[in-house]
Amino acid sequence: MYRELIQIEDAEVEHLLNDLFEWHGYDFTHYSRASLKRRITRLCSLDKFLSLAEFKYRIKEDKIYLKRFVEEVTVNVTEMFRDPSFYKTLRTEVLQTISAKPFIRIWHAGCSTGEEVYSMAILLKEMNLLQKSLLYATDLNPSVLEKARTGFFPLQSMKQYSENYILSGGRKDFSSYYTAHYGQVKFDEALGERMIFSTHNLVSDRSFNEFDLILCRNVLIYFDKDLQDRVLQLFDESLGALGYLALGSKETLKFSMVQSKYKQLNSEKIWRKIVS
Amino acid sequence: MAENRLIKDCKVVVIGGSSGSLEVLLELLPDLPSPMPFVLIVVVHRKNSNDSSLADLFSYKTSLPIQEVEDKDVIEKGHIYLAPADYHLLLEKNGFFSLDDSEKVNYSRPALDVTFESVADVCGRSSVAILLSGANADGTQGLKAIQKAGGVTVVQKPDTAKVPFMPQQAINQGVADWILDIPQITALIQSL
């Protein structure tokens, strides 16, 4: 029952990352090594490469395989209303406060297949804020954005999402937001109308707007501290006065260069920008 | 084998378990040496929840510093670290932990295999892995990695485990250096 993995040495990982940047411009050199090495080893064995040289050749020469590499080496696990208490705080505190603005701009950085963006649209709709909001959803990975754009999600996840939704303070019948189609569900078109999907690479791309709320959950865990700091500065530049920044449940602004400008909300990983 | 700069010469003990392992941990914790001359990492399968009640529960049983790991926490000798619910726990060669929320492994996140393999990669011969009671096959692959890296593998004696499947699986696959009951596991930890 053992899966025999190709052993990849640390130095070989470094070479691969440098080559990847040179060949295609993708810069993974500031990603956390432990996870990245595991993902690369896993993909190599999943796709049954017999040697690292063969694997590298495919990445270099085959554009379609490159797409797969980027999609598989980055982590695209996400769910709707993940950490219900987080969404409860969004509902009762953050969105409540932001609702006083004439227009609301939200950025989901590293949105993957869009589950969080749809969760946000549901919250906004229930608070009658969706019409005056714009949800920018970005990821470095074009294929997950294509998926997100369709508004289709797997039917089998709905039970979990529905439980999350109720725990987050949702009062409606969750299934009223979608219709089932052969093992998938399609979310209400109206929810998608205020979403803008676009590729954006947190490593290399710059700020593109000013936002009232930025969500970047479980993305920074894949970055080393240098890159985390750079990305947090990018968020800082992209956040308006008194805007909110939301991170994953095990991520922190502590020890970062922007920390002193932010105040954390009770108990959740949400910070408010108090110094512009 | 590459060794971690910060935790060099310091053993890293990683204990993993699933159903039936909590009782064992609560029994082991009060008998840990204090100060503890190694790093202790605990990975148990748990229902995905955001609360930190398990760390609280453990902290009643030991005076050693214990914490649930957050992203990029520094790995320190003498501390007990607990893998958070819903994340895989990994070690970085520059002395930090990192977390990963990728796919479940053996239907589990945190998965024992992921942390065991990471400990093997980073700590090599300085690693000691202990597999306790549980109902699935998680841990076996990780113990194999620990062995391969020159570390020591210990498996709870199946007839002392509430759910013997997990340790038995490791024994069947030939990845147990030692098969011990709870007092023997305690004695081994105290001798490190």
Indicate the pLDDT class of residue A208, thresholds 50, 70 and 90: very high
pLDDT of the residue at B8: 54
Question: Chain B: residue nearest A164 by CA?
Answer: B49
> Where are the alpha helices (H) located in chain A, listed in sequence order?
10-24, 33-46, 52-61, 63-73, 84-89, 95-98, 115-126, 142-150, 158-167, 189-192, 225-238
Average pLDDT, rounded, for chain A: 94
- Please give the pLDDT value at position A254: 87
Q: What integer pLDDT is reported at residue B50 of this predicted model?
A: 55
Tokens of A72: 């598989």
Asked if the model's pLDDT at residue A221 lies above 90, the reply is yes
Q: What is the mean pLDDT of chain B?
A: 92
Are B90 and A38 in contact (CB < 8 Å)? yes
Q: How many CB atoms lie within 10 A of CB A260?
A: 10
Q: Give yes or no for a contact between B49 and B165, defined as CB atoms under 8 angstroms apart.
A: no
pLDDT-based confidence at residue B2 (cuts at 50, 70, 90): very low
CATH class of the A84-273 domain in this structure: alpha beta
pLDDT at position B6 over 50: no
pLDDT classification of A246: cutoffs 50, 70, 90: very high
Lowest mean pLDDT among A193-202, B7-16, B148-157: B7-16
Interatomic CA distance for residues A249 and A230, integer angstroms: 20
Q: Which of B21, B45, B126, B133 is catalytic?
A: B45
Query: For position B51, what pLDDT does the model report?
Result: 59
Domain that holds residue B112: 11-190
| Helix pair angle (B140-148, B112-123), 10° resolution | 10
Using an 8 Å CB-CB cutoff, list chain B residues near A86: 50
Q: What is the pLDDT of residue A83?
A: 93
Instruction: Report the C-alpha gap between B150 and B147 in whole angstroms.
Output: 5
In A, minimum Cα distance to B115 occurs at A34
Task: Produce one character per residue of B94-132: b if its CB has 16 or more CB atoms within 10 Å, e if not.
Answer: eebbbbbbbebbbebbbbbbbbbbbbbbbbbebbbbbbb
Contacts 24+ apart (CB under 8 A), A122-129: A122/A165, A122/A170, A122/A177, A122/A191, A123/A87, A123/A90, A123/A91, A123/A95, A124/A95, A124/A194, A125/A190, A125/A191, A126/A170, A126/A171, A126/A172, A127/A91, A127/A95, A127/A96, A127/A99, A129/A95, A129/A98, A129/A99, A129/A104
Residue type, B52: S
Mean pLDDT of A101-130: 97
The percentage of residues in chain B with a pLDDT greater than 70, rounded to a whole number, is 93
**Interchain proximity A2–B87, CB inside 8 Å:** no
B65 within some domain? yes
Question: What is the C-alpha to C-alpha distance for residues A45 and A72, in angstroms, rounded to an integer?
Answer: 12
Q: Among residues B56, B100, B138, B177, which one is catalytic?
A: B138
Average confidence (pLDDT) over B91-95 = 94
The whole-number average pLDDT for the span A269-273 is: 97
- By Cβ distance, the residue of A2, A85, A225 closest to B72 is A225
Q: Whole-angstrom Cα distance, residue A42 to residue A237?
A: 36
Domain with CATH 3.40.50.150 in chain A: 84-273
pLDDT tens digits, B106-153: 999 999 999 999 999 999 999 999 999 999 999 999 999 999 999 999
Interface of B with A (CB under 8 A): 2, 50, 69-72, 84, 86-88, 90-93, 96, 98-103, 114, 117-118, 121-122, 137, 140-141, 144, 173
**Is B88 annotated as catalytic?**
no
% residues pLDDT > 90 (chain B): 88
| Average of per-residue pLDDT across B3-19 | 75
* Residue in B with minimal Cα distance to A226: B72
Average pLDDT over residues A168-183: 95
Verify whether residue B45 is a known catalytic residue. yes
* pLDDT computed for residue A275 by the predictor: 87
Cβ contacts of A228 on chain B, cutoff 8 Å: 72
Using a pLDDT cut of 90, give the percent of chain A over it.
Answer: 93
Question: Is a pLDDT exceeding 60 seen at residue B5?
Answer: no
Asked if the peptide bond before residue B35 counts as cis, ω within 30 degrees of 0, the response is: yes
pTM above 0.90, yes or no: yes
Per-residue pLDDT band at B9 (split at 50, 70, 90): low
DSSP state of A92: I
Contact B100 A2 (CB under 8 A): no
The whole-angstrom distance between B86's CA and the closest CA on chain A is 10
- For the question of residue B51 being annotated catalytic, the response is no
Helix (H, G, I), strand (E, B) or coil at B154: strand
* Per-residue pLDDT band at A224 (split at 50, 70, 90): very high
What's the pLDDT score for residue B49? 62
Q: Which of B90, B100, B137 sits opposite A75 (nearest CB)?
A: B100
Q: Which of A137, A136, A124 is nearest to A96 (CA)?
A: A124
B88: which chain A residues are within 8 Å (Cβ-Cβ)? Answer: 35
Chain B partners within 8 Å of A251 (Cβ):
70-71
Q: pLDDT for B37-64, tens place per residue?
A: 999 999 999 876 655 688 899 999 999 9
Tell me the CATH number at B27.
3.40.50.180
Chain A residue numbers with beta carbons less than 8 Å from the beta carbon of B145 are none
Q: Which of the pair, A3 or B67, is modelled with greater confidence?
A: B67
For residue B6, tell me if it sits in a domain: no
User: What integer is the mean pLDDT of B70-91?
Assistant: 96
Name which of A13-22, B50-59, B152-161 the model is least confident about. Answer: B50-59
The half-sphere exposure of A61 on its side-chain side, counting CA atoms within 13 A, is: 6
Confidence class of residue B78 from pLDDT cuts 50, 70 and 90?
very high
Residue B5 lies in a domain: no
Residue by residue, DSSP assigns A177-206 as GEEEETTEEEE-HHHHTTEEEEE--TTT--
* Domains identified in chain B, total number: 1
C-alpha B156/C-alpha B40 separation (Å) is: 17
